[in-house]
Structure 1
Amino acid sequence: MTYILQVDFQHDGPFGDNMVAAFTELAESINEEQGFIWKIWTENEETKEAGGIYLFETEEDAERYLAMHTDRLTGFGVPAVNAKIFKTNAVLSKLNRGPIR
C-alpha cells in the first residue's frame, strides 16, 4: 500500500520557469526524503496557490514529511498549509494509468 500526500498553500510566486529556477535545489532534496516515491508540483498563478501531490511508501513517511514541510513553509512566511493523506487504491489507479507501485 502507498500513500498520497496532497498539499496546497497561498503562494505569491514565482511561477512557471521562474519557479523552476527558484526551487530546483529544493526539488532535488525532496528525492532524498525517507519513503518518497514521486511528486507532482502544482501551481495556479491566478489564485496565487501552489503545492504538490506526493506518493510515499508508508503513512508514517507521509506524516513525517508533512510535519517537516509545514515547518519549512511556515518559516517561509506561509500562513496556512492545507494537507490531506490518503491511502491509494492500486488496482483502480493502475486501471486508469496511475503511476502506483
Structure 2
Amino acid sequence: MKLLQVDFEYQGAMGVEMSNSLVGLAESINQEEGLIWKIWTESELNKLGGGIYLFEDESSAKSYLEMHAARLKGMGVPKVRGIIFDINLPLTEVNGGPVFIKES
C-alpha cells in the first residue's frame, strides 16, 4: 500500500459549498485504479485544498497523481504538490490508522 498526499493553492468554495459542488468528482474518484480511500482536505485560512489517498500500490498512486495534477492545471491550479509515502503498518496499527493488510 502507498499513501499519497496532495495539496495546492485553492481559491474556490470550501465546506458545504465545496461538498455540494464536487459530489460528482468525489464519486468518479472511487473508480480510480487501485484507490482504497480518500480523505478530502481544505484550509480556508491558508487557501489550500488537497487530499490524502490510500492506494493498493505505487503505480496506481503515480498514475493518479499524474492525471490529477493535469486535471487541476486544466482548472487553473498552476502548482500541485504530491508526495507518495510508504506506510509503517505496525506503528499505524498501534494508533488505529485506517489501513489494513491484505491476506494473500
> Under TM normalisation by the shorter chain, which class is it?
over 0.9
CA contact (8 A) 1:35 1:57 kept: yes
- Note the C-alpha offset of 1:31: 0.4
The separation in 2 between residues aligned to 1:26 and 1:90, in whole angstroms, is 30
Match of 1:69, SS? helix
The separation in 1 between residues aligned to 2:93 and 2:18, in whole angstroms, is 30
Q: Could you list the runs of 5+ residues in structure 2 that have no partner in the other structure?
A: none
The separation in 2 between residues aligned to 1:88 and 1:43, in whole angstroms, is 23
The separation in 2 between residues aligned to 1:5 and 1:13, in whole angstroms, is 22
Aligned to 2:90: 91
* Paired-residue identity, %: 52
Aligned to 2:81: 82
- Mapping of 1:45-64 within 5 angstroms? 45-64=44-63
1:9 aligns with 2:8: yes
- Note the C-alpha offset of 1:53: 0.3
1:31 aligns with 2:7: no
Aligned to 2:68: 69
Give the aligned residue type for 2:80.
Answer: V
TM-score of the aligned structures, taking structure 2 as reference length: 0.94
CA contact (8 A) 1:13 1:45 kept: no
TM-score of the aligned structures, taking structure 1 as reference length: 0.97
- Provide the aligned length of Structure 1 versus Structure 2: 100
Match of 1:93, SS? helix
Structure 1 segments of 4+ aligned residues over 6 angstroms from their partners: none
Q: Could you list the runs of 5+ residues in structure 1 that have no partner in the other structure?
A: none
Give the aligned residue type for 1:17.
Answer: V
- Note the C-alpha offset of 1:89: 1.2
